Structure 1
Amino acid sequence: MDVAGTGVASAARPHTARLRADASRNRERIVAAAREAIVEFGPDVALDEVARRAGVGNATLYRHFTDRAELVRQVALSVMAGAAQRAEDALMEEADAFGALHRFVFEAVQERIGALCPMLSEAFDREDPDVAAQAQRMERSINALLDRAQRAGQLRGDIAVGDLMVALTQLTRPLPGTGCAGFDRFVHRHLQLFLDGLRAPARSVLVGTAATLEDLKGCK
């Protein structure tokens, strides 16, 4: 209710809404900047660098994320959710089985799936229920793409989701210390080479066994 009919309360509401919208945009910018920085420099990237890339002050960053672990967690959740949605959309919308996988692989670049590297770190809490739920959703959706392409005889049968994730993580990260501008143009070439190697019939026998996401959890 307005105070003495002055309209103070109603005037305050738009102001509060604007503050909340600004805070939400700042949070989104910080997560997006952290995602890019982690891909480029790894999870130990300076938070000052993240704030600079996001166009916010350090105080704003710390208002949203009290420490590095909280920020890395949010980046991981964001990337996994985005990757899972990309896989689900490709599976539903693409008639050709290998075409769906091809689409997902290239769209995973846009999600900066290489930012998931911190998930292989001992310091990352893999028992976090939100992280576990998103990881399961992502694994399930990517597995569906692989299974469909294998059943169609278009994808070699000796790989699993872990193999795909390792390749995507490695191929979508710049070479350490290079600061390579326009790196995505190399990524697209190398992803195409990788996809050609996935097609059935296989032209070689892979050593070892197909890797799952569970296998990757043991990486140091």
Structure 2
Amino acid sequence: MDTATATQRRVPRPRADALRNRERIVAAAREMFVEHGPDVPLDEVARRAGVGNATVYRHFADRPELVRKVVLSVTDRVADHAEAGIATADADPDKAFDALRTFVHAAADERIGALCPLLSEGFDPYHPELLDGRERLEGAITGLMDRARAAGQLRTDIAVGDLMVALSQLARPLPGTACPGADSFIHRHLQLFLDGLMAPARSELPGEATTLEALRQH
């Protein structure tokens, strides 16, 4: 047995209940960040997750680490939806735009707009985990849009950044405010936006297509 194998065998795997608690904490934090913003007390997150305060701090050293895991969770889930859309478009190119439409609504349900308030001062957007997650997400969305464009169903004068700006704005929650039925309005407005993305284009857009690189520079 080599040294690396022996070391791997000595490292205990997290218990199933510990993994479940960690997932519950991340899910609860995401809900509360959406409802109240990123500064919600961690005691409240623990209460929502149904665990003790010590359990939260045992899994997450501080608030930035928990915020990072929430952002990564949302990013990964949205990437899953985009990759599922690619599989649908590959199976039937005529359904490429339908796959894009399904993805956009699913991304809204994942509260992707909640990422914006979380990316505040003190947050490290260049953490290796986040860079990997962002690369996967960008690649998946780009691939899905490329398929819809190749099928002649998506207008040619937009880029991934245009889609993400609209999605983050239209799906952005309003922490701490009461807005009954907000989800129904979000999906209604997203549908109007998506209709405007369909080819052939009915108007000429001002400016240039927005890339994700351009968004990061601003």
Task: Give the shorter-chain TM-score range.
Answer: 0.7 to 0.9
1:76 aligns with 2:75: no
2:194 paired residue number:
195
Cα RMSD (Å) of the superposition? 2.3
The residue that corresponds to 2:35 in the other structure is 40
CA distance in 1, matches of 2:106, 2:188: 14
CA distance in 1, matches of 2:186, 2:21: 29
Residue deviations 1:170-192 (CA, integer Å, cap 9, x gap): 22233354222332112211111
* 1:1-220 pair list within 5 angstroms: 20-94=15-89, 95=92, 96-118=95-117, 120-219=119-218
The amino acid of 2:206's aligned partner reads V
Larger radius of gyration: 1
Identity of aligned residues (%): 65
The structural deviation recorded for 1:148 is 1.3
Seen in structure 2, the aligned counterparts of structure 1 residues 122 and 175 have a Cα distance that, compared at 3 Å, is closer
Cα distance between partner residues in 1 of 2:172 and 2:139: 24
Residues 62, 52 of structure 1: alpha-carbon distance in 2 compared, 3 angstrom cutoff: same
Q: Deviation string for 1:44-70 (max 9, x for gaps)?
A: 333233223222232221111111110
Deviates more, 1:140-149 or 1:39-48: 39-48
TM-score, normalised relative to structure 2? 0.83
Partners of 1:203 and 1:123 lie apart in 2 by 43
Long gaps (5+) in structure 1: 1-15
Where in structure 2 are there 5+ consecutive unaligned residues?
A: 1-11
Q: 1:169 to 1:39 in 2, by over 3 A?
A: farther
- Number of residue pairs the alignment of both structures matches: 203
